[in-house]
Homo-oligomer: A and B are copies of this chain.
Amino acid sequence: MPTQTLISLDAMGGDHGPPVVVGGIKDYRTRHGGEAVTFLLHGDEAAIQAELIRLRIPDGVCQIRHTDKKIASDEKPAQAMRRGKGSSLWNAIEAAKTGEAGAVVSAGNTGALMAISKLILRMSAPGLERPAIVASWPTLRGVTAVLDVGANIESDAAQLVEFAIMGEAFHAAVHGVAQPSIGILNVGSEDIKGHEEVREAHRILRQNDLNLNYHGFVEGDDIAKGTVDVVVTDGFTGNIALKTAEGVARFISALLKEALTSGIQAKVGALIALPALKTMRQRIDPSAINGGPLLGLNGIVVKSHGGADAKGFGNAIRIAVDLARSDYLTKVGANLERLGAVLEAVPSTAEETVS
């Protein structure tokens, strides 16, 4: 029997609010059991209560902390920090700070969630300005974690190594892989390829004082191949790679749809092949990979997509529970400490360390 885990939820975040958040709880319990997991829901009590009744969530699974205040989806991070105190998002994070909850899930405004998480929980990784966001990327071999996909625009070598440490611990906790393999995203696999920051991070990881399963450089097409479990990159490149991939996937889906509805014969063929096509669709279902943790904080915060459905929110809850029940935070802490020692042992400027 697992120990009791309390997950703090921003019930008002995202495009749909309580129906999807409570729907996510129901989905999580249906598909993942959810023994010994309880929830603390922050937001409009009446609206939440109505959903708990409608979806027949048993008594004792959820507690509600009422607040009228919520952060708008278009609110700027600076404004959200100034006036966000007491909002459902703020209170959800506070519950993780006090130790009451083991993790937080919110489908709210990403900028506000990052800023307020950082303000309340503080960064645990010394090199990071902002939490790193992880994307779970479906591949031929399963799922690869790609980070950072958006928060840290320019990342030096130490930050890239921090991403490796955090991504490795995340992947181990959520996918149960003992020694996840790690690659740094680059334009080629030789040591001399790429810019200074990736070559320096490559050098640090290859030394292997951090005891990580480092594979080496990987290229863009290695992501979908599943060559490694964790792909490390700066937030600029990672964000562009992720959105480019989403664009390509939508482009091909549109072509496929167009092709399979292009005439009577095509429609008949598509109808017959439908069950197989549906199975294929599940492999790239966004709900199945929803839930991007913000890594590098003293606490576990998982961002659900603003437009996610109940199944998607349920998956974000699963990730939060897996992280909260794992040794993720202590493992990352120990490895970041080790990294500090490694960085002190090497010359401080990039020019000195690369010949």
Contacts and interface: CB of A to CB of B under 8 A. Distances in A.
A283 B248 CA distance: 13
A119 to B, nearest CB: 20
A353 B233 CA distance: 28
A74 to B, nearest CB: 12
A272 to B, nearest CB: 3
A280 B257 CA distance: 10
* Most-contacted residue by chain B among A185, A254, A266 (CB, 10 A): A266
A220 B249 contact: no
Interface in A174-230: 185-187, 194-195, 219-225
Interface stretch (A237-245, A301-309, A327-335): A237-245
A54 interface: no
Of residues A243, A244, A255, A256, which shows the largest number of chain B Cβ atoms within 10 Å of its Cβ? Answer: A244
Counting chain A residues whose Cβ lies within 8 A of the other chain, the interface size class is 35 or more
Interface string A281-323: 0011000000000000000000000000000000000000000
Nearest to A196: B154
Contact of A259 (B241, B242, B258, B280): B280
A46 interface: no
Most chain B beta carbons < 10 A, residue from A240, A242, A274: A240
Contact of A242 (B220, B249, B273): B220
Contact of A265 (B186, B195, B240, B276): B276
A55 to B, nearest CB: 33
Contact of A220 (B153, B235, B247, B266): B247
A272 B265 contact: yes
Given A154-B195, A260-B276, A266-B273, A221 B236 contact: no
Given A224-B250, A269-B273, 14 more contacts: A185-B240, A186-B240, A187-B235, A221-B247, A221-B250, A224-B247, A225-B250, A233-B240, A237-B240, A255-B284, A256-B256, A256-B280, A259-B277, A265-B273
A61 interface: no
5 contacts: A221-B246, A223-B247, A237-B237, A245-B248, A268-B272
A42 to B, nearest CB: 28
A139 interface: yes
A221 B194 contact: no
A275 to B, nearest CB: 7
